[in-house]
Structure 1
């Protein structure tokens, strides 16, 4: 995570916005949370060593991750959705009742308010960071409007071609705008020819699987550096304190000896290889879907206790029922044969019951090629173990 935060700061230092994209549960929200913390307390950098001679126990340490934007930074969070518009992000006009009737007052949205913050000589902040979650769930081109130009740092203050901010909705008198209301109750005015400040930075997230989302257009996309967030088996192994080097490759001789966390690790690996080759890597399952399975628990006395194997198998089965299988059903909607192939329905273990099988009808004249409904976590423990071990192959 630290290396990706470093990448974000590097992009900002080069005058670029950042877009984190990938399947769900690949750590996009967690990375943003860590970035928020980094703006308040920088984590350790990956390079360099600093010496503290006064610390005899640990004299050497990594220096703090360098923050390459002016500090302190104001952090703003917003989420795009289908009802989110230009009025929320840039500038909107809201009605106000008065003695003579109704008038329209300008209200700054998130992006314009960031510019007003840095234009305010009394502000304590030297930069503003805007987090945009789910940027492709709204009509981004409409939300940014003509302010899409100012995503490009070349057209801001100190850029190659600084341009005046076009705010035709505002009334100007004597070279100064009418009062603009801001979130939090403050108000500001701006001068004609106002140039968008340099130190407004954006980091956005995008779910690559969401079919209901609106694809971002090329004019918007080219103003972002893209950082791909992929499923990370190493992160899952670290979460479970599992050494990937010791996880066996399942074959005819060893598959029955797999432990529950090894099976979970191998299961995610196999499913994602199959999904990537069939549907594309953007449809893979994020490792975060399995992190609710905990290798150990803290008891009432505060002691860390490793969970029993049986408990872990049951936890894997419940996670499959509640999280993993619904994701597979969504990805293979309308493609039952591919899903059944993924589950080895036609090639179950040679002996013993198996969780996934074809549905049968009481009438001999009725035949079907469809999965029999099953909640794996309700099955006997022996069937749960056998089924997930076989599914890793």
Structure 2
């Protein structure tokens, strides 16, 4: 790496803490990670890992593995021999970076934290997550392999340094593969990512995505998703919480919304197989022939395909939501225009004085 790069201090550019972003699938957690944290840290000081059911402590921290290395024999001749060495995992590697480049902010990103058995994956590292105000661990642990990898000393205590940020994402708790106890969760700074389809806080990309019409339909993605999510909350679907099954604003991509087959196979199939599995008649107007018939009816519809497969009441609600969203958008545009006109009027009433010496 460029030596000049190491002289540019970035320590403290983001908080040195453990941050856990959570929300419904597709609400924008990874987008938030990229914009708020990853974009501010140099790529070479960032490590990303994804937890899953088979992910283990050894995968995360590191493990002893056989490697071929060149060693000198008794005659002084180099030859390859099988050696057993500690191979650092993502956690140890980010500590190595933070220890080597103390003036650089380092970032460990853990996607899908609750898709793996997080307490088991962290093991004794769990103790390090308690931090002081400067980001340094309150308590240290002893781990010979990590100590040797970091300091080349077997008994030096390990702690999280003040230039390391850990950011993790997880879906809301209703549909976890693994649950996380309170003792583990309290060591994270929890940040809920709202599933917003409307409001002034939306950026232009999200606004365009939300207002995009579904394939061959007069209904927009925003009106569809909000109506379906509301239906989940009011219908008796046989389970307690519905938030984790809600459609996130980016549950469907722009490409999904451009293609009827992709939309049906991704969104309609999900609603049939999962979200409305115990209450399909609340959403679909004909459940007698199964999912394949619903998808075929959607793809082969002559008019609006949603009208062909959804309960009329639900489709009507989507039309009402379209009108509400249009009215809200018009009001927001009007308010923005009024603010701009007021600003222009104020500028005219208080013209800037010319700099001294100008006529």
Give me the TM-score of the superposition, normalised by structure 1. 0.59
Kept in 1, the 8 Å contact 2:14–2:105? The answer is no
C-alpha separation in 2, matches of 1:96 and 1:317:
51
Partner of 2:293: 373
Q: Is the 8 A contact 1:157 1:195 kept in 2?
A: no
The runs of 5 or more residues in structure 2 that have no matched partner are: 1-10, 75-80, 236-240, 318-359
2:288 is paired with a residue whose SS is coil
CA distance in 1, matches of 2:305, 2:97: 57
Matched, 1:322 2:323: no
Distance 2:210 2:259 in 1: 16
Does residue 251 of structure 2 align to residue 289 of structure 1?
Answer: yes
Which structure shows the bigger proportion of residues in helix conformation?
2
Equivalence for 1:79: 50
Q: Measure the CA separation in 1 of the matches of 2:104 and 2:217.
A: 51
Of 178, 190, 203, the match for 1:214: 178
After superposition, where does 1:231-380 map in structure 2 within 5 Å?
231-234=195-198, 235=202, 238-240=207-209, 242=211, 260=217, 262-278=219-235, 279-292=241-254, 315=258, 317-332=260-275, 334-335=277-278, 338-343=279-284, 345=285, 357-359=286-288, 373-374=293-294, 375-380=296-301
For residues 281 and 207 of structure 1, the distance between their equivalents in structure 2, rounded to whole angstroms, comes to 10
> Residue 290 of structure 1: CA displacement?
3.8
How far does residue 327 in structure 1 lie from its aligned partner after superposition? 1.4
Deviation string 1:324-382 (CA, Å, 9 cap, x unpaired) is 111112324651xx211223x2xxxxxxxxxxx2537xxxxxxxxx6782324432322
Q: Does 1:153 align with 2:131?
A: yes
Q: 1:132 to 1:10 in 2, by over 3 A?
A: same
Structure 1: where are the runs of 5+ without partners? 1-8, 41-70, 171-176, 181-186, 244-258, 295-311, 346-356, 361-369
Paired residue secondary structure (1:266) = helix
1:233 partner SS: coil
Which of 118, 138, 157 in structure 2 is aligned with 1:194?
A: 157
CA RMSD after TM alignment: 4.0
Q: Answer yes or no: is the 8 Å Cα contact 1:267–1:392 preserved in 2.
A: no
C-alpha distance in 1 between matches for 2:224 and 2:106: 42
CA contact (8 A) 2:271 2:277 kept: no
Shift of 1:104: 3.2
Compared with structure 1, are the counterparts of its residues 158 and 290 closer, same or farther at alpha carbon in structure 2 (3 Å cutoff)?
Answer: closer
Do the aligned residues in 2 keep the contact of 1:266 with 1:392 (CA within 8 Å)?
no
